[in-house]
Structure 1
Amino acid sequence: MTKSVTLLFAHGAGFCKEIWEPITRRLGESSLLQNAAVNTEFVTFDFRYHGSNRDESEPPQLDLSNPEAPRVHHSSGDLTTWTSAEILERVQALKSKSPDRLLIGIGHSMGACALWSAEIQQPGTFDGLILFEPVYGNANVDHIVNFLVSITLQRQSSWYVYSLTKHFDLQSSLLIDSTSRPLREAAEQHLRAYDNFSAWDRESLEAYIKGGVVEDKSTGQTKLACSPIMEAMLYCSRLMFCSDEQLARVKCRVVFHSGRRSKMFLPSIFEEMKGKWPRIYSVGEPIPRSSHVMVMEKPAAVTQKIIESLAELEPFRASTPQSRL
């Protein structure tokens, strides 16, 4: 009898649902997911303020009272609270539509925290979680926030190409009237040449451009869907942190993955969880030559990690006694 499972993908801060496309393409081509005994559905979405859910109705407030530690304030500053609430809403909609389907969450950074927090709040929400570097802990990370906010605020976020339309003004006797038009190509060329994205896989970069660059009809500009100041606000949020009682509530297997060069993931924290609750938590080997944004840098390696993790979870575990790939 064919079993059904939904893989729910949750992206990180500043990204969009399209960044999963290079990964879901590879997953769909894998022998694990081509197994006729399991019907697999992929679900991706944009968190609020990102991609197709872009929202600039409430401008963030920039605080430069300490120039060396810029901060951005906004009513959505409690990141884990509202992102996990959004996850729970989406899960409810999925389960009301297909109550018998198993549900496995796959997330990166902000999205990983949101999935994990949703399971902690409502144990049994998921049948498995595969999490790439949830930003978790109670350490003082002000120096990291200072750096992330500073470089993010410097990022170009809108593009114009100006062209002069000449006509003669009889009253002023001057050539006047310049008009501007948005040019998506300028934004795409800028992002393809952007040094901070140079380590990204080219297919992943194109996927990000596809969903992360939008035309703003109200201003006539081509913009990043998640503006730099909004992205910086997300970095100013308090880190996810839970008590032992909360961590032990989880009712599904949780696998953590990371990039070997990452400065945002402390393996010792997650190894300690594995030691306390080995039936819940496990930690994979770091992905070589990758950072916190390994999802963008190494989509093939990330896909392989997902396949290996899925092979240990139902319904794939029961369907693949030998071959995992």
Structure 2
Amino acid sequence: MNVTQFIVDTYGAGTPLVSTAKRYRPSSTATKKGYILIFAHGTGFHKEHWEPIIERLYAHGGPVVEAWAIDAQTHGAAATLNRDAIDEPGFTYSSYHFAEACANLCKTHLNGTRHPIVLVGHSAGAASAALVPSFYGQSRTPPFSALILVEPAIWPGSMIGMADSLAYKLACVAIPRRRTTWRSRDAVRKDLGRRAPWGTWDKRILDLYVEHGFEEDKEGVSLRCNPVHETQPFINQINAVYPVAELDKLRKKVPVHLVYGERNDLFTREKQESLLRGRRFASVIRIPGAGHLVVQEAPDAVGDVLLSILGGLENQRYVEREYVL
């Protein structure tokens, strides 16, 4: 793949911050007809987690012109660039701020494109992806052709604090206390590779996490994403509620697809089905053998599901027009 890096400016968090993004294009001659995908990662991760999935799409001839993956301002390479601001006492961050980064990427780098845009988000990144249309005028048709939400951290307000799994409750306690520094990247790989959840990940994802999820410092290497920021979606469940109203408007205008792991670990089935209740989505797919971290555990399966969804979109309608973002 040909990879180009970009910086995206944002201002909604009360202080100027940047997001870091990468654009992935196939090495071979790009198709003239296809979709532009924008990927938003889950909490604690970074944009490079999507690379095996993007490679899968290109390897199997998916109808994709180019793919973008973007870091939340408190995660990945963006966290390093924003360190002084995001480590300030009292700094607050919500799902809207990552959504702003995704929207600004579109407005800055994709304005005027004639290719349909599809947003793809995982977990807390799915919540932010669902909020991206809120950054455009309510009277306008959303400038996106579809939304694909993978294990979305989205549920109605009535479910705040309800039906939380034991794993979810443990995460709320364990993440803020997690180890942050190792003597080397090799030490990180050896330590995490034998423990849950990292030991269940596809090796490619673990390697990408070790490479891009840590930064060098005087003590060795440390997490780029401070556990304080990683835990925010867990302890502030209101971020899971914000996207519901936006989804209720959006799903009447464009296809919204939901993708879950078949194994209910972090989110209970009751929590997931609270979003489905009374709502019609374009599809609801469960990937066998995977849990909430399906992107990390089964990237090839996620890629195959995306190929299927994109193929269905292409068969239904491929609309080429100028997208003013």
Q: Distance in 2 between matches of 1:220 and 1:154?
A: 18
Equivalent residue for 2:306?
306
Question: Shift in Å at residue 318 of structure 1?
Answer: 5.4
- Are 1:10 and 2:24 an aligned pair? no
Equivalent residue for 1:296?
296
Equivalent residue for 1:323?
none
- Are 1:99 and 2:99 an aligned pair? no
Q: Secondary structure at the match of 2:285?
A: coil
- Are 1:235 and 2:240 an aligned pair? no
Q: Secondary structure at the match of 2:286?
A: coil
Equivalent residue for 1:49?
74
Q: Which amino acid aligns with 1:269?
A: S
Q: 1:284 to 1:233 in 2, by over 3 A?
A: closer
Question: Shift in Å at residue 274 of structure 1?
Answer: 3.8
Structure 1 alignment gaps of length 5 or more: 34-38, 62-73, 161-182, 276-280, 320-325
> Within 5 Å, which residues of 2 pair with 1:179-218?
183-216=184-217
1:76–1:82 Cα contact (<8 Å) kept: no
Structure 2 alignment gaps of length 5 or more: 1-30, 319-325
- Of the three residues 47, 52, 56, the one matched with 1:22 is 52
Q: 1:4 to 1:244 in 2, by over 3 A?
A: closer
Q: 1:267 to 1:188 in 2, by over 3 A?
A: closer
> Within 5 Å, which residues of 2 pair with 1:46-125?
46-54=71-79, 55-57=82-84, 58-59=86-87, 74-77=90-93, 79-96=94-111, 98-122=112-136, 123-125=141-143
Equivalent residue for 2:220?
221
- Of the three residues 223, 243, 253, the one matched with 2:255 is 253
Q: Secondary structure at the match of 2:312?
A: coil
Question: Shift in Å at residue 220 of structure 1?
Answer: 4.7
CA deviation string 1:147-175 (max 9, x = no partner)? 21212123221123xxxxxxxxxxxxxxx
Q: 1:148 to 1:85 in 2, by over 3 A?
A: same
Question: Shift in Å at residue 244 of structure 1?
Answer: 7.6
State TM-score, norm by structure 2. Answer: 0.74
Question: Shift in Å at residue 307 of structure 1?
Answer: 0.8
Q: Which amino acid aligns with 1:24?
A: I
2:127–2:239 Cα contact (<8 Å) kept: no
Identity between Structure 1 and Structure 2 (%):
23
CA deviation string 1:86-144 (max 9, x = no partner)? 11111111223x53222111110111111111124535131111110211122132755
Q: Distance in 1 between matches of 2:103 and 2:142?
A: 12
Q: 1:117 to 1:267 in 2, by over 3 A?
A: same
Q: 1:290 to 1:60 in 2, by over 3 A?
A: farther
Q: Which amino acid aligns with 1:85?
A: E
1:16–1:46 Cα contact (<8 Å) kept: yes
2:100–2:135 Cα contact (<8 Å) kept: no
Q: Which amino acid aligns with 1:108?
A: H
2:128–2:243 Cα contact (<8 Å) kept: no
Question: Shift in Å at residue 245 of structure 1?
Answer: 6.1
Q: Distance in 1 between matches of 2:103 and 2:144?
A: 10
Structure number with larger C-alpha Rg: 1
State TM-score, norm by structure 1. Answer: 0.74
Question: Shift in Å at residue 196 of structure 1?
Answer: 2.4
